[in-house]
Amino acid sequence: MDFELDGEQRLIRDTFARFSDEQVAPSAADFDARHEFPLELFRRLGDMGFFAMRYPEDVGGSNAGLLTYCLALTELARGSLALAAAASMQSLMGTRFLHLLGNPDIRERLLLPALNGKKIGAICMTEPNAGSDLDGLTTQAVSTDNGYILNGQKTWVSMAPLADFFTVFAKAGPKKNLTIFLVERGQPGLCIGKPIEKMGVCAFPTSEVTFAECFVPATHRLSREFGDGEDHLRELLGQIRIITAALAIGCGTAALEAAVSYAGERKQFGKPINRFQAIQLKLAEMSTDLDVARQFLFYAAWLVDRDLPHHKESAMCKLFASEAAATVCDKAARVLASYGYATEYPVQRYLRDIRFTLIGGGTSEILKLIIAAQLSQ
């Protein structure tokens, strides 16, 4: 396989790198401190075509591959993991099922504005007692006249406080098959809880969502009632893991850049600390880990773009990249020493934010079980 980037891929990467450097990074600390979502920057991403990048031209997209998309996403995460995470949610989980399964009305009213950044979508999957265990989901949809009655509670719903619509996974039918529904904001029975306070990605709003006797029209059931919701979800999870790896690499790269810059400026015993072997070893290890993670990301995305089996590789990619990036952020904080603990420097934010990538897309422990299961087949 050849991972040499073509001209279009380099142009997209460089475009979002400039946007990240010039518009995202300078305001990232302020949004984090105020726990405020950067909505204006989010809208600009819609204007730049980021949310529609992987969709076909008939909905305003450019039909880009996953590798090209990850190049742009990594640069966004280098500026702000919170904004990049929100952008990835919007461009994949928040809109994917509307495009694949929605009727013309749903695509016109919700999908197209979402791909332009004018509306925001969220996905409701995790429950208080069911995260990795899909069989443990208890949210149910009961068939009624012209639709369904939805009851249940979802948690860790990213972008819920701002979302205009929700893609909801619930059990339906006699066999309680996993089924996908669309619920629009303002629907009676839909209750959005207060934001969950988090240690990191503080500018990325998250909350619980409750459905209490919430009516869903039959036209808003997106998947088949008796069967393919779980298949759609499992197919999506592979891409989620690769995208989470891209987020981790972007954040880790920002931490490495901060450490390299600081080590070249900070002087001790009459010389910059990057002249000391202890610091040089840390920087070398950090750079090596990120480069290996990046090559694995390219490989996993390459498999997806060619419609080749990728579930083991996507799990490996996310496992390695998130763990490596977390280690990189920790080492960056050690390079800065006391200043790595100070809020005036961004490294403490990277160290807090990176833990998001250790959880999203499956914990490292779950990913290891998935990899082991693939090896035993």
- Bridge-based pairing of strands 267-268 and 140-144 is unpaired
| Per-residue pLDDT tens over the stretch 75-118 | 999 999 999 999 999 999 999 999 999 999 999 999 999 999 99
- Name the pTM for this structure: 0.95
* Res 8 pLDDT > 80: yes
Interhelix angle 229-265/277-305, rounded to 10 degrees, is 150
* Res 1 pLDDT > 60: no
Mean pLDDT, the chain, whole residue set: 94
pLDDT reported for residue 227: 65
With CA atoms as reference, report the closest residue to 181 among 215, 133, 130: 215
Least confident of 12-21, 219-228, 251-260, 285-294: 219-228
Residue partners of 74: CB distance under 8 A and separation at least 6: 246, 247, 249, 250, 253, 294, 297
Q: Is 193 exposed, middle or buried (0-12, 13-18, 19+ CB in 10 A)?
A: middle
> What beta strand segments (E) does the chain contain?
121-124, 140-144, 147-158, 165-172, 177-184, 190-195, 206-217, 267-268, 271-272
| Per-residue pLDDT tens over the stretch 291-323 | 999 999 999 999 999 999 999 999 999 999 999
Q: Is 183 exposed, middle or buried (0-12, 13-18, 19+ CB in 10 A)?
A: buried
* Res 225 pLDDT > 80: no
* Res 3 pLDDT > 80: no
| Per-residue pLDDT tens over the stretch 134-176 | 778 899 999 999 999 999 999 999 999 999 999 999 999 878 8
| Per-residue pLDDT tens over the stretch 184-224 | 999 999 999 989 999 999 999 999 999 999 999 999 999 88
Angle 155-157-159 from CA coordinates, rounded to 5°: 150
